[in-house]
């Protein structure tokens, strides 16, 4: 079955996470993503946090599935010439180098769009390519700090807290994939490519637009409220048996019907009629009393039992699943969100799959490539280079 992005060719110059998560998404959806890496060492994510010297890291494997890898020395004149020839044949170029890096190699957008006017040129930067902070470098944590996520994460009175998910990195990558696909659709109408720019700070700021909306009412910075909802709705974590570090559920009642169903499920219909809890404003005053009542029931049951009972009753409730539980979760496996791939060095590797389900072209996940694994294949396809020519380029340090 043909994939949704079959025939779309991407040159991937990304490294670490913000860019690689974007190109991985495109690869999952069927694009021909060719990862271009420096010879010998490859992109930095290959060896970042690896527990085995000389073996690709789990970090790299999680972010580069479904891609092909070639090596090319872009700092060399010959390497730049080869790259330019490849640019003529591709739809998309993706990069997240430090500002000005590609320009210093003579491979900036202004030059490349002259070579290929249909090129969609994606650039990801911490703070964008212009503005007072554009020259500053960034990582996920910097984006989360400057984008507003840390300021609203934590408990009242606590220091700001870094959210666990890498919304500054992978969150930026998902934004970038959206921008690239929009530009691709527009190019199909106009025949003209364009530059797509995503700043990590701005992607995080987009994520916090709803959690920070209280500032429009109070004219004060939105506060840290921990796990509870500031609106007075019933929303919090509740302890479950047997009392381990992650034995909790998050339960949320946003309507009287949900609240009544929750009270019925815990065997306390009287709580629904209690004047302390009927009105949202009053409920805030007595929220600790309500929490104790709910936890008297949840603490006698496992988080999975609570989730099943509440879910059946129509009450939004989720067990707090740790990373190992997710990797072994039967629901996630059935939906193809947890997959096992065969890696040429590490063997069987279980990882998160593609979260987008397309009925006519479901994503199939393959293992991340070894460094330069597809040199012969890609250079043969695109440039007609023979094994002898490739060996010469390898000896010269070009590939």
User: Which residues belong to the active site?
Assistant: 169
Residue reference for tokens 């063997």: 347
Residues in Cβ contact with 250 at an 8 Å cutoff, skipping those fewer than 6 apart: 227, 235, 236, 237, 238, 317, 318, 320
Alpha-carbon gap, residue 125 to 11, rounded angstroms: 18
Whole-number Cα distances in Å, 366 to 1, 45, 65 = 16, 18, 6
Alpha-carbon gap, residue 57 to 20, rounded angstroms: 14
Q: Can you give the three-state secondary structure of the chain, one letter per residue? A: CCCCCCCCEEEEECCCCCCHHHHHHHHHCCCEEEEEECCCCCCHHHCCCCCCCCCCCHHHHHHCCCCEEEECCCCCHHHHHHHHHHHCCCCEEEECCCCCHHHHCCCCHHHHHHHCCCCEEEEEECCCCCCCCCCCCCCHHHHHHHCCCHHHCCCCCCCCCCCCCCCCCHHHHHHHHHHHHHHHHHHHHHCCCCEEEEEHHHHHHHHCCCCCCCHHHHCCCCCCCCCCCCCCCEEEEEECECCCCCCEEEEEECCHHHHHHHHHHCCCHHHHHCHHHHCHHHHHHCHHHHHHHHHHHHCCCEHHHHHHHHHHCCCCEEECCCHHHHHCCHHHHHCCCEEEEEECCCEEEEEECCCCCCCCCCCCCCCCCCCCCCHHHHHHHHHCCCHHHHHHHHHCCCC
Alpha-carbon gap, residue 98 to 129, rounded angstroms: 10
Supply 239's token pair: 């302890």
């Amino acid at each position: 079955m043909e994939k949704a992005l079959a025939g779309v060719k991407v040159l991937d110059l990304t490294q670490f996470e913000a860019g690689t998560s974007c190109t991985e998404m495109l690869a999952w959806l069927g694009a021909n993503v060719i990862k271009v890496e420096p010879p010998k060492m490859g992109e930095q994510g290959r060896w970042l946090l690896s527990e085995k010297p000389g073996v690709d890291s789990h970090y790299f494997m999680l972010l580069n599935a479904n891609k092909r890898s070639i090596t090319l020395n872009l700092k060399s004149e010959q390497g730049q010439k080869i790259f330019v020839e490849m640019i003529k044949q591709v739809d998309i170029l993706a990069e997240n180098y430090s500002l000005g890096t590609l320009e210093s190699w003579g491979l900036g957008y202004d030059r490349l769009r002259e070579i290929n006017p249909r090129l969609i040129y994606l650039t990801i930067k911490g703070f964008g390519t212009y503005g007072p902070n554009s020259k500053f470098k960034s990582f996920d944590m910097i984006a989360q700090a400057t984008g507003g996520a840390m300021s609203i994460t934590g408990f009242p009175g606590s220091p700001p807290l870094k959210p666990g998910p890498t919304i500054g990195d992978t969150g930026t990558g998902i934004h970038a994939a959206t921008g690239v696909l929009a530009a691709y659709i527009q190019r199909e109408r106009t025949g003209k490519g364009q530059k797509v720019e995503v700043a990590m700070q701005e992607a995080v700021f987009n994520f916090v637009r709803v959690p920070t909306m209280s500032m429009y009412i109070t004219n004060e910075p939105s506060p840290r409220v921990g796990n509870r909802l500031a609106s007075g709705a019933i929303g919090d974590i509740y302890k479950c048996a047997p009392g381990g570090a992650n034995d909790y559920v998050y339960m949320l009642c946003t309507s009287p019907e949900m609240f009544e169903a929750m009270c019925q499920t815990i065997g306390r219909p009287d709580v629904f009629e209690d004047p302390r809890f009927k009105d949202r404003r009053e409920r805030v005053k007595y929220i600790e009393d309500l929490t104790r009542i709910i936890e008297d029931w949840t603490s006698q049951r496992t988080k999975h039992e609570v989730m099943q009972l509440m879910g059946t009753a129509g009450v939004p409730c989720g067990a707090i699943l740790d990373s190992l539980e997710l990797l072994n979760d039967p629901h996630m496996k059935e939906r193809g969100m947890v997959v096992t791939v065969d890696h040429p060095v590490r063997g069987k590797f279980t990882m998160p799959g593609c979260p987008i389900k397309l009925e006519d072209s479901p994503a199939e996940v393959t293992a991340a490539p070894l460094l330069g694994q597809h040199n012969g294949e890609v250079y043969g396809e695109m440039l007609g280079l023979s094994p002898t020519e490739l060996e010469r380029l390898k000896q010269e340090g070009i590939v």
